[in-house]
Structure 1
Amino acid sequence: MAIRTAIDQHWAASAAGDQDAEHAIYHDDAVCEYPQSGEVIHGRKNLQALRSHHPGKPSGFKVRRVTGDGALWVTEYTIDYQGKLAYTVSIMTFRDGKVAHETQYFADPFDAPSWRAEWVERE
């Protein structure tokens, strides 16, 4: 439960724009990967600096689901960048109660094709 509490505090701080509290969850030597852009961020300080200098700071943030156990946790959430949603997945690996490695995937929304309508329901 300590890790789940830390994750909840991390996402709440991220949504509130509290950079120090948001990054308290990471080890100093944490690694964060953005596979879609090919970027790898080494160290909590670099990760916090990168996020602190984002030119289009998020205007909204919503956690959809957090699942995990032991050292591996996954969070699905949306980020609102001034009206444009990014559907995001964060995969965190913990060591000694802090994040040692995180991989984040970002996806744009898309219109559902009409041919699937009879088998799906819309949110």
Structure 2
Amino acid sequence: MTDAATLAQEFWWRMGTNEWSLAAALFADTIEIVWPQSGEVIGSAEDFIAINANYPAHGKWTFKVHRVIGNGGHAITETEISDGKITALAVSIFECADDRIVRITEYWPEPFEAPAWRKQWVTIRRD
């Protein structure tokens, strides 16, 4: 049985091909992709493919996985995603069973400037 960390890494590798159906081939028949910040739920591989194919991107998408944590049926990834003009960071929670991804919950946090009041206690990292 393939663990969730391995499936998550494979998912991001396949996303990097920009062949959305290749990534969707890892989904269980009852896939659920949740975006809590907007309240959206994607309930099928077909809808996932359509959203990615129709996204108004500025170029080819790239996916740089910074970290994968997990084993067994659960994994978390931190991934930098860019279309050459816009770069975002996604934190994704993968739930897997029977060598398939059954659920992904993704958080797309917006960057913000660190408040000046705490500068004496922190180091600013820009990587």
TM score, norm. by length of structure 2: 0.83
Partner of 1:38: 39
| Structure 2 unaligned regions, length at least 5 | none
Which of 101, 105, 112 is the aligned partner of 1:110? Answer: 112
The secondary structure found in structure 2 opposite 1:29 is strand
Partner of 1:94: 96
Alpha-carbon RMSD across the aligned residues, in angstroms, is 2.0
Higher relative contact order (CA 8 A, sep 6+): 2
Aligned-partner Cα distance in 1 for 2:91–2:17: 19
Q: Which amino acid aligns with 1:105?
A: Y
Distance in 2, matches of 1:85 and 1:116, equals: 26
> More strand by proportion, 1 or 2?
1
Q: Which residue of 2 aligns with 1:7?
A: 8
Q: Deviations over 1:65-108 (max 9, x none)?
A: 11111111111112224433322111111010111111111111
The secondary structure found in structure 1 opposite 2:28 is strand
In the alignment of these two chains, the number of paired residues is: 123
Matched letter for residue 87 of structure 1: L
Structure 1: state its 5+ residue gaps. none
Counterpart of 1:107 in 2: which secondary structure?
A: coil
Aligned-residue sequence identity (percent) comes to 32
